[in-house]
């Protein structure tokens, strides 16, 4: 197995994990940036035309893992960690679908919807392909009633 290597770092408005809006109705539309280490910069060639990207990072503030998570969106009730997006996972890899708003310098990508802490180590960037990655009608299991509730809240 491999040892993870940072290819860059994330800049976000969230200085602490507690500052990240949590739960399904949470808004992460604050602008953030992804900064690649200079040696990896050539790997960004031809990324311009993608409107959305997968960003993978290390949950480097997570303290070990737990097979049960207690997500705030369900008032702390336990769910298996693989049925949640909890940071305390066996492999501490985080994943966001972000909107890519262009470059700010050759090694800095301006993005939206990135829900991680400022300074988080970046592991990977992948192009988002709606042909294989978009499932707008996917069923959300235990999250579904909370999604409805939050949607109602958002409208009110």
> Binding residues for its own copies, how many (CB under 8 A)?
67
For the chain, give the number of residues: 156
Give the span between the Cα atoms of 37 and 107, in whole angstroms.
Answer: 7
Stretch 32-71: interaction string toward its own copies, x if CB under 8 A:
--------x-xxxxxxxxxxx-x-x-x-x------xx---
Give the residue with the Cβ less far from its own copies, 30 or 93: 93
127 in contact with its own copies (CB under 8 A): yes
Do 111 and 44 contact (CB within 8 A), yes or no? Answer: no
The token duo for 129 is 């392909």
d(CA 156, CA 150): 10
Q: Would you give the distance in Å from CA 133 to the centre of its chain?
A: 15
Q: Which two tokens stand for residue 81?
A: 């960690």
Site for its own copies in 66-125 (CB under 8 A): 67-68, 78-85, 89-93, 95-97, 113, 121, 123-125
Contact residues: its own copies, CB under 8 A: 1-7, 24, 40, 42-52, 54, 56, 58, 60, 67-68, 78-85, 89-93, 95-97, 113, 121, 123-144, 147
């Amino acid at each position: 197995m491999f040892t993870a290597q940072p290819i860059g770092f994330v800049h976000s408005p969230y200085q602490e994990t507690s500052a990240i809006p949590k739960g399904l109705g949470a808004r992460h539309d604050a602008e953030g940036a992804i900064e690649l280490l200079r040696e990896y910069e050539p790997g960004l060639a031809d990324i311009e035309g993608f409107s959305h990207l997968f960003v993978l990072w290390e949950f480097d503030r997570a303290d070990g893992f737990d097979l049960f998570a207690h997500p705030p969106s369900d008032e702390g009730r336990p769910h298996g960690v693989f049925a949640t997006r909890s940071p305390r996972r066996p492999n501490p890899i985080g994943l966001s679908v972000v909107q890519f708003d262009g470059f700010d310098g050759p090694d800095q990508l301006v993005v939206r919807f990135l829900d991680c802490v400022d300074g988080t180590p970046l592991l990977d960037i992948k192009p988002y392909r709606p042909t294989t990655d978009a499932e707008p009608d996917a069923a959300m299991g235990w999250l579904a009633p909370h999604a409805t509730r939050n949607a109602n809240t958002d409208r009110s």
